[in-house]
Amino acid sequence: MSLIIKNAMIVNADSVTDGDIMIRDGVVVQVGGTADISAADQVMEAEGLCAFPGLVDMHVHLRDPGQTHKEDIHSGCAAAAAGGVTSLVCMPNTSPAVDSPEIVRYIIEKAKETGIHVYPAAAITYGLSGEGCCDYEALRKAGAAAISDDGRPVENDGMLLCALQEGHRLGLPVLCHCEDLSQAAGGKVHEGRASGLLGVKGMSSSSEYGDIERTLALAESVNAPVHICHVSTKESIEVIRLAKARGVKVTCETAPHYFIYTYEKVLGRDADYRMNPPLREESDRLAVIEGLLDGTIDAIATDHAPHSPEEKSDFVKAPNGVIGMETSLAAALTYLRDKFTLCDIVKLMSYNPARIMGIPGGAIKAGAPADITLIDLNENWTVDTANLHGRSKNAVFKGETLTGRVKATYCGGRKVF
Ligand SMILES: [Zn+2]
């Protein structure tokens, strides 16, 4: 089976090339120039479109098993395909948690039906309880691609050290949700003007960066790599910048809402703008952009976190989290294009996350899997939650008009959107 994508602007992290992409049996065999269409089973005309390597979203909640009223592996992967995401890492805070080889295998088997590359992150501690480290070797053998207690920090230093050392030994990235629960547990919004005006408990900046400092100190002490999830405060970015400068093997991610919005969004008491960490202040938002520009922040992920409309209906009682896979690329193209090149965006949303995870993808090149997203850079569209492909509607960019739209997504050479 062969396919030619004709006349695209082909963007990689390090180059822009005009021309054709020839794909055979799910693998890219030629990039640029003119491919011989008589040799192809199918031709996709892409004049005027841009071809990105499929996005790699390294922070996604698929809610399967156990909370499939919010999302399941099929609906989550449909959302991924619609957003141009061809590889995703799904977090283990499902029900039951991804703490056994059986659950890892369940996810991998079910994901095979979707056409999207799904990489399960397994839990660091049993049931994300903080009580007892999982059997990382068995989880890796079953197919786990990373370990994380995302949704919660690993509060016990000894267990976090064990995870960092074992993750390093086994080649499993350790994805850390950093939050000092003694400060932030039960918090609803950023601590400061937002929590004061709304009369709810706040989540302070120090609850995030203080726990990042602890995590980095542990990683540094054993010279192990660590990845920090969803960085949102200026102090967090500075802590990571300094750690990188002294040689700590740290990578980190942020999400589009942290470089686009501030806490002002929650003042209308709409729980669709509540997530953890929360929307912060303008100075934090600007620091996130600075961190993306200078390479302190390595990746843009979504922290796609579906919740049902009923769960999100009460501002205070609603769980944290927003969906984002169908809007992340358009949001980045809309809000970053003034300072970032298309190559930069590919680097942050595809190349770097693939490299951090140690998985295929991240580039359109001969020999690579044909994971390709075709984008119309100039199309304006308004985010209407009725048209989203995932099961939940808690979209942080609802009602926004964005510029840049995914027109087709190929994963392993197969058209998935
Ligand atoms: Zn988290």
Asked if 166 and 219 touch (Cβ cutoff 8 Å), the reply is no
pLDDT-based confidence at residue 121 (cuts at 50, 70, 90): very high
Q: Which one of the listed residues 272, 303, 314, 384 is annotated catalytic? A: 303
- DSSP calls for 1-47: -EEEEEEEEEE-SS-EEEEEEEEETTEEEEESB---GGG-SEEEE-T
Name the burial class of residue 375, with classes exposed (0-12), middle (13-18) and buried (19+) by CB atoms within 10 angstroms of its CB: buried
pLDDT of residue 191: 98
Contact between 253 and 227 under an 8 Å Cβ cutoff? The reply is yes
Cα of 344 to ligand 1 centre, how many Å? 25
CA distance 5 to 42: 9
229 Cα to the center of ligand 1, angstroms = 6
Q: Does residue 242 register a pLDDT over 90?
A: yes
Cα(130) to ligand 1 centroid in Å equals: 15
Ligand 1 centre distance from Cα of residue 115 (Å)? 26
What token pair was written down for 73?
């592996």
Cα–Cα distance, 181 to 122 (Å, whole number) = 22
At 178-212, the pLDDT tens digits run 999 999 999 999 999 999 999 999 999 999 999 99
Q: What pTM, to 2 d.p., does this model score?
A: 0.97
Query: Over the stretch 66-105, which tens digit does the pLDDT of each residue have?
Result: 999 999 999 999 999 999 999 999 999 999 999 999 999 9
> How far does the centroid of ligand 1 lie from the alpha carbon of residue 287, in Å?
20
Would you kindly state where each structural domain of the chain is located, as residue ranges?
54-357
Catalytic residue status for 18: no
pLDDT for the residue 141: 98
What value does the mean pLDDT of the chain take?
97
**Pure H helices in 199-281:** 205-221, 234-245, 256-260
CA of 230 to the centre of ligand 1 (A): 7
Mean pLDDT of 396-414: 98
Ligand 1 centroid to 335 CA: how many Å? 23
The pLDDT value given to residue 39: 83
Residue 171 has pLDDT above 90, yes or no: yes
Give the number of other Cβ atoms within 10 Å of residue 401's Cβ: 11
Cβ atoms of residues 46 and 11 within 8 Å: no
Q: What pLDDT is recorded for position 61?
A: 98
pLDDT of the residue at 358? 98
Q: Is 51 helix (H, G, I), strand (E, B) or coil?
A: strand
- Report yes or no: 330 and 403 within 8 Å, Cβ to Cβ: yes
Distance from the CA of 105 to the center of ligand 1, in angstroms?
A: 23
* Predicted confidence (pLDDT) at residue 337 exceeds the cutoff of 90: yes
CB 54 within 8 A of CB 289: no
Q: Which two tokens stand for residue 148?
A: 């994380």
With 90 as the cut, is the pLDDT of residue 224 above it?
yes
pLDDT at 240 over 90: yes
In this structure, CATH architecture of domain 54-357? Alpha-Beta Barrel (3.20)
Instruction: Give the confidence band of 29 by pLDDT, cuts at 50, 70, 90.
Output: very high
Confidence of residue 7 (pLDDT cuts 50, 70, 90): very high
10 Å Cβ neighbour count for 286? 13
